[in-house]
Amino acid sequence: MGWFSSFVVFVVLWWIVFFLVLPWGVKAPHEIGEEPGPGHAPSAPVRPRLWLKAAIVTVIAAVLWGIFYYVNAADLISFHTG
């Protein structure tokens, strides 16, 4: 597998894990007893902490990519079409 294919697999894993981690720890204003500010949606999270989630997702995606790379390099499962 080339470097570009490996990068694409990492990016796809990153986005899948990101969408899975995105709702972790999210609280709407009404859940913590606050009123949303003017112009804000009532369901908008108070502190989404996206940078922390992106860092966590990067670590998880790197571990998953390492597992994928090992399985592919050891030829445990063949991902080749030809």
**Domain range list for the chain:** 3-73
Structure tokens at 26: 């999210």
Number of other CB atoms surrounding residue 13 within 10 Å: 19
What is the structure's pLDDT at 37? 81
Asked whether the beta carbons of 25 and 49 are under 8 A apart, the reply is yes
State in Å, rounded, how far the first CA of the chain is from the last one. 13
What mean pLDDT is predicted for residues 13-27? Answer: 95
19 band by pLDDT with thresholds 50, 70 and 90: very high
Asked whether the beta carbons of 42 and 29 are under 8 A apart, the reply is yes
Tell me what percent of the residues of the chain surpass a pLDDT of 90: 52
What is the structure's pLDDT at 17? 97
Tell me what percent of the residues of the chain surpass a pLDDT of 70: 96
